[in-house]
Structure 1
Amino acid sequence: MPYLSRTDAVWELYLGAEGAELDPDNPENRFGSTWMSTVHGLLDTVEKEPSGALVITATGKYFSNGLEIAQISDPSKIDPYIDLVHGLYARVLSLPVATVAAINGHAFGAGAMLAQCADHRVMRTERGYWSLPEVVLGMPFPVGMTSLLRERIPNATVTEAMTTGRRYGAVEAAEFGIVDQAVGADDLMQTARAVAADRVPFAGPNLAVIKKGLRRTLLTDLATPSANGS
């Protein structure tokens, strides 16, 4: 299960299990209902003392491989499940602290989109791809996810990513505007922490107000209940 640590003023949210390279119960850090509930609880902790900044990362091969397959195999459960995913995105997008995604490995589908919710994104160069494989899998993009991607990624890039399922390594992801920085594995967390630390002074309720205003249309789309995958 995800866990939280803190060094000085910087919180670090790990999407996997503490003390394990890969979570034995969820090795790809997929968006299970319990997993999402745990992440929300950890974000509650961050929000109780909005005086720092937050780095979101993981360990091992995956940042997150996206949706839980069991949750989308039953048509009657898809819409409520997608609404929960959208709720997590909205939460990260409007936190009262600066957020930095340190993409340590594969970020696919919903996991790739979670990274885009961060204010700043750093990706390691030695391992891992950022990709939206939905078109390959025959899956539509719900309105909220489409809005997220269109707002957070340049138009030419998001068109290619959504319609081809292209896999971007870190250098390409930085070149095409998906992430802000591509760095070596040894520098990933150091770089993410430094960016987060520089933004600590801006934490607080006013930052949340600014984020919500900046992302008002996106947050409205994420809050709209899904219907038949739309």
Structure 2
Amino acid sequence: MPFLRESDDVFELFLGTEGVELDEANPENRFTLEWIEQVNRALDEVAQAGSSSKKGLVITATGKFFSNGLDTDYIVTDADKLPSYLDLVHAVYTRVLTLPVATVAAVNGHAFGAGAMLALCADHRVMRTERGFWSLPEAALSMPFTAGMAALVRTRLSDAAATEAMLTARRYGAADALAAGIVDETVGAGELAAQARTVAAQRAATAGANLAIIKAGLRAPLLANLAIPTPASLL
């Protein structure tokens, strides 16, 4: 399950399980209900402490995946709960988008679907060069985007990049993701954590209630779309 570390200059939210690269019960850092709950607890802690401690937040993982997205097993077995489940996912995006601290996504491996969109919620994105793809596979999987998810991609990427990513399910390696504006910079695996921490620390002085107000104003239309309840008719 996700866990939070705090150092002198930053918070680090790891999307996997402490002490191991891959947890057998959740090897791909998918958005299970328990996973979402743990992420929210960590974000609560960051929000409460971030303003006073003046620290930034790095969101990352270890192993093969940053996050492989939605819990497809849950969607299949509890299809009637899909709207409320997706609303919980939207709420996580909203939390990250409006945190009162600077946020940096350190994309260590594959970021697919909902996991790819989580990376887009960060203020700054760094991706490792050696391994991993960023991708929105929904078109290939015959899955629609919610209004909130479509707005997130459309808002955070250029129209050309959003159109290609959403309509083709293209897998972007680090160089292609940088060229498309999906990430802000790329570094080697050995530099990823340090570079993400450096960026977060450099922006830490802005932390506080005012930063949250600025973010909410900057992203108001997007936040409004994320707040739209998912209709039962989506699928």
- Relative to the length of structure 1, the TM-score reads 0.98
The DSSP-based 3-state class of the residue aligned with 1:101 is strand
The DSSP-based 3-state class of the residue aligned with 1:17 is coil
Corresponding residue number in structure 2 for 1:61: 64
The DSSP-based 3-state class of the residue aligned with 2:131 is coil
The C-alpha deviation readout for 1:19-68, integer Å capped at 9, x for no partner, is 10112210100000110001000111111112211000000000000000
For the pair 1:8 / 2:4, whether they are aligned, the reply is: no
- The amino acid that maps onto 1:80 is S
**Cα shift at 1:229:** 2.2
Partners in 2 of 1:199 and 1:120 — Cα distance?
10
- The amino acid that maps onto 1:107 is A
Corresponding residue number in structure 2 for 1:37: 37
Corresponding residue number in structure 1 for 2:82: 78
The C-alpha deviation readout for 1:50-102, integer Å capped at 9, x for no partner, is 22110000000000000001222233111111100000000000000000000
Question: Unaligned stretches of 5+ in structure 2?
Answer: none
- The amino acid that maps onto 2:3 is Y
Q: Superposition pairs for residues 1-230 of structure 1, below 5 Å?
A: 1-50=1-50, 51-73=54-76, 74-227=78-231, 228-229=233-234
Partners in 1 of 2:234 and 2:126 — Cα distance?
30
Q: Report if the CA contact (8 A) 1:87-1:222 is conserved.
A: yes
The C-alpha deviation readout for 1:193-214, integer Å capped at 9, x for no partner, is 1100100100000000000000
Partners in 1 of 2:217 and 2:23 — Cα distance?
36
Partners in 2 of 1:125 and 1:194 — Cα distance?
18
Partners in 1 of 2:110 and 2:85 — Cα distance?
22
Return structure 1 stretches of 4+ with deviation > 3 angstroms: none
- Relative to the length of structure 2, the TM-score reads 0.96
Question: Unaligned stretches of 5+ in structure 1?
Answer: none
Partners in 1 of 2:34 and 2:112 — Cα distance?
20
Q: Which stretch shows the higher mean deviation, 67-76 or 124-133?
A: 67-76
What is the aligned length? 230
Partners in 1 of 2:79 and 2:201 — Cα distance?
43
